[in-house]
A = this chain, B = another copy of it.
Amino acid sequence: MKLEKGLIHVYTGDGKGKSTAALGQAFRSCGRGLNALVLQFFKPASQESGEHALAGPEGRGLGRIEFRRGQSRHPFFDKKADREAIKTEVLDLLEDVAQEWEDWDLVVLDEVNNVLRDKFIDWTDFEAWLNRKPATVELICTGRGAPQALIDRADYVSEVKKIKHPMDQGIAARKGVEY
């Protein structure tokens, strides 16, 4: 697969998430059959990292990665979406995780910031769920509009600020890059 148009991305600033954003992009693109080269400066071989272990020949002790998804689209994109059904779905998905905390070392709640912002779960319910998280589990919450209560509770907080976005030039999401 070749992209029709390859763009240039820049991830800059003093927050965490620049290199991992690039890595995540590389792995996503890989999943579409694109060939990705990651050229790293100032990270000599003596500083081996998890991504090398995954991608390199030595990648033998790999953990597993599992994706799970809610069935609903956000009401902003799906006018027929049922708010109550979404609330139930969110609670169910989170409860399933809480039942199997011990199986996971890292849990990503992708777009959960929007879930909280738009009150598909109350902060108190989410906080109760958070309180059940074992100390050894790393939790990552993404999405716009993270509520202040979550920011207060978090250890790592990065604000990813849009400086330029191709959508503003009328370039639509491209298979292999944006999804």
Q: What separation, in Å, do the CA atoms of A48 and B175 have in the docked complex?
A: 10
CB-based nearest B residue for A35: B63
What is the interface of chain A mostly: helix, strand, loop, or mixed?
A: mixed
Q: What separation, in Å, do the CA atoms of A144 and B39 have in the docked complex?
A: 16
Looking at A25, A33, A106, the one whose CB has the most chain B CB atoms below 10 A away is A106
**Chain B's nearest CB lies how many Å from the CB of A19?**
5
Q: Which chain B residues lie closer than 8 Å to A146 at the CB level?
A: 10, 12
Size category of the binding interface on chain A:
35 or more
Q: Which chain B residues lie closer than 8 Å to A139 at the CB level?
A: 6-9
Residue A21 CB within 8 A of the other chain: yes
Q: Of residues 106 to 123 in A, which have CB atoms within 8 Å of B's CB atoms?
A: 106-115
Q: Which chain B residues lie closer than 8 Å to A56 at the CB level?
A: 67
Q: CB < 8 Å: which of B37, B43, B52, B62 contacts A104?
A: B37
Q: Of residues 30 to 62 in A, which have CB atoms within 8 Å of B's CB atoms?
A: 30-45, 47-56, 59, 61-62
Q: Which chain B residues lie closer than 8 Å to A160 at the CB level?
A: 11-18, 21, 158-161
- List 8 additional contacts besides A13-B160, A43-B69; criterion CB under 8 Å: A6-B137, A9-B158, A17-B160, A31-B62, A34-B105, A36-B106, A37-B107, A45-B71
